[in-house]
């Protein structure tokens, strides 16, 4: 890392240590990713949720080569105290990232920026770098990985034996998800290759993982595992930087003529489909703890064949076993858990298929919304009147150009409408605010509201909260240009902000 790069501090919660994991599981997940990426770019702090934590006990039993420091919550930077952990912030900085997905994606990006040869790390972000980018409020898949499964496993581990006989519904939901057909950007081409393989019965056309594979110039152990499907061939050839055999790539004429609807569906190899991504990194520590607890209780995994196969397959990914070793995770072999009487099987059909909502609830077609008509149909008559406070209009010509919404990458017409909107918001806040007040701009986007408020009310602290990183970075650039010192930037979902404030705008 270059000397000019600012030091970043990573803050992780710590409630207790159980077997080979640190809780909450969000902390174990974060540490596992750091080990997998071999990332030493962050100064790591554990923030105990209770008192009387033994410093030596924690650090002694933590992962191998990561240096970790203990810090009390009252010692956290003020901006971090307003957020749920994990959180990362530049030392003495005013830009904070909070929430598991946001922090993990940032770790991956910083690792790659520091060492562009680590392309396998960047690939964790998936196609178009969107893995777990959508916030949990919008994406059912992000919610399952980031929130539901970690909480379900923590609840499973803390429940008394008589209360944890059934597999948690969120685990069953993941099992069901792994059984759904895979959809990828080059779906048609791969499905035609699969059809050709099926017709040829070409089990020998796919490569075999040897006992060793080269990873970053080092030799690492691999399972000798014949790949039984085209999906596995594609997935592992990408991981091992190999080309799929030409015999698999060539398509016969009758294959090219086959209708898309007649092509075979693709099966899951990893959590999001064919490729190993950040979602697998997030799920592995959680599922591992669930399986360890299940084994200890004498349970079987007959209801979870896909999760069991996924768990074994993830262990074959280069770097996973090494990272697990650093984290003291003793990965299981599962044959002894896979058999059970039929009467013990759990019916997956009873699990609500919530993840389908993400794809099915998209019937809205954009366009003008007949708001006035809807009001009239419901007996509401809207009356227009002159603006009650015409003096609320801001004199934009006397403000620095960086304050104007036009600096936020939008058209001239839209910038004018945004100025009109800001006239009202800024006037209302100005009327309410007192020196020393904290004003939070929720879902701030490019910071159009917050930057104007910070510039016009230097005695108030303004906080911008936005999930989209690029929008918030643009806002920070404009703020830096203006030299504003009374503004913070928090990249996080709204759920991860728990600070106190006097006025909120959106």
- Are 322 and 405 contained in the same domain? no
- Are 171 and 127 contained in the same domain? no
- Are 124 and 157 contained in the same domain? no
Would residue 40 count as lying in a domain? yes
CA-to-CA distance for 125 and 169, rounded, in angstroms?
27
Look up tokens 């410093």; give the residue. Answer: 55
Q: What is the CA radius of gyration of the chain?
A: 26
DSSP, res 344: G
Would residue 265 count as lying in a domain? yes
**pTM for the complete prediction?**
0.80
- Are 310 and 416 contained in the same domain? no
Q: What is the pLDDT of residues 203-217, one digit of tens each?
A: 444 443 333 344 444
Would residue 365 count as lying in a domain? no
CA-to-CA distance for 73 and 76, rounded, in angstroms?
5
- Are 156 and 305 contained in the same domain? yes
- Are 308 and 194 contained in the same domain? yes
CA-to-CA distance for 118 and 379, rounded, in angstroms?
62
Would residue 210 count as lying in a domain? no
Would residue 45 count as lying in a domain? yes
Give the domain extent around 497. Answer: 390-505
Between β-strands 503-505 and 487-491, what pairing exists: parallel, antiparallel or unpaired?
A: unpaired
Question: What are the residue ranges in the chain where pLDDT is below 50?
Answer: 1-3, 195, 202-228, 241-248, 262, 339-345, 356-366
Q: What is the pLDDT of residues 458-491, one digit of tens each?
A: 999 999 999 999 999 999 999 999 999 999 999 9
Burial of 357 (0-12, 13-18, 19+ CB in 10 A): exposed
pLDDT of residue 2: 44
- Are 422 and 498 contained in the same domain? yes
Last residue of a domain, one of 133, 158, 182: 133
- Are 159 and 47 contained in the same domain? no
- Are 302 and 161 contained in the same domain? yes
* Domain count across the chain: 3
pLDDT of residue 492: 94
């Amino acid at each position: 890392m270059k000397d000019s790069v600012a030091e970043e501090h990573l803050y992780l919660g710590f409630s207790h240590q159980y077997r080979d994991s640190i809780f909450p599981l969000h902390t174990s997940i974060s540490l596992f990713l750091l080990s997998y990426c071999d990332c030493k770019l962050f100064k790591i702090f554990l923030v105990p949720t209770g008192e009387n934590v033994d410093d030596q006990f924690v650090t002694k039993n933590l992962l191998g080569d990561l240096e970790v420091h203990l810090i009390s919550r009252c010692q956290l930077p003020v901006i971090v105290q307003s957020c749920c952990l994990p959180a990362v912030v530049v030392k003495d900085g005013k830009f904070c990232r909070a929430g598991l997905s946001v922090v993990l994606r940032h770790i991956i990006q910083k690792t790659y920026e520091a060492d562009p040869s680590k392309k396998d790390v960047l690939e964790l972000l998936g196609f178009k770098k969107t893995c777990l980018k959508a916030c949990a409020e919008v994406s059912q898949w992000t919610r399952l990985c980031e929130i539901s499964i970690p909480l379900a496993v923590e609840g499973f581990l803390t429940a008394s034996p008589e209360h944890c006989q059934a597999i948690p519904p969120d685990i069953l939901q993941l099992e069901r998800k792994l059984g759904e057909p895979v959809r990828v950007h080059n779906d048609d081409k791969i499905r035609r290759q699969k059809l050709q393989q099926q017709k040829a019965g070409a089990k020998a056309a796919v490569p075999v993982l040897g006992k060793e594979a080269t990873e970053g110039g080092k030799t690492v152990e691999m399972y000798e595992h014949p790949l039984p499907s085209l999906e596995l061939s594609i997935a592992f050839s990408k991981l091992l930087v190999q080309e799929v055999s030409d015999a698999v790539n060539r398509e016969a004429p009758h294959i090219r003529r086959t209708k898309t609807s007649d092509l075979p569906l693709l099966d899951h190899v990893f959590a999001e489909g064919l490729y190993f991504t950040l979602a697998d990194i997030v799920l592995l520590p959680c599922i591992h703890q669930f399986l360890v607890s299940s084994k200890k209780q004498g349970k079987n995994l007959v209801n979870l064949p896909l999760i069991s196969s996924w768990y074994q397959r993830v262990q074959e990914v280069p770097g996973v076993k090494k990272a697990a070793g650093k984290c003291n995770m003793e990965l299981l072999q599962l044959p002894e858990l896979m058999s059970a009487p039929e009467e013990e099987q759990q019916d997956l059909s009873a699990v609500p298929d919530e993840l389908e909502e993400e794809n099915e609830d998209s019937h809205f077609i954009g366009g003008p919304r007949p708001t006035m008509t809807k009001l009239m149909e419901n007996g509401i008559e809207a009356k227009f009147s002159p603006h009650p406070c015409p003096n609320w209009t801001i004199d934009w010509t006397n403000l620095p150009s960086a304050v104007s919404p036009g600096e936020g990458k939008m058209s001239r017409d839209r910038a004018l409408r945004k100025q009109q909107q800001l006239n009202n918001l800024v006037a209302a806040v100005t009327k309410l605010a007192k020196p020393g007040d904290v004003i939070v701009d929720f879902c701030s986007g490019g910071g159009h509201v917050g930057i104007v408020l910070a510039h016009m009310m230097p005695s108030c602290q303004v906080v911008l909260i936005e999930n989209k990183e690029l929008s918030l970075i643009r806002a920070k650039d404009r703020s830096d240009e203006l030299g504003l010192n009374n503004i913070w930037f928090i990249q996080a979902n709204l759920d991860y902000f728990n600070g106190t404030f006097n006025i909120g705008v959106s």
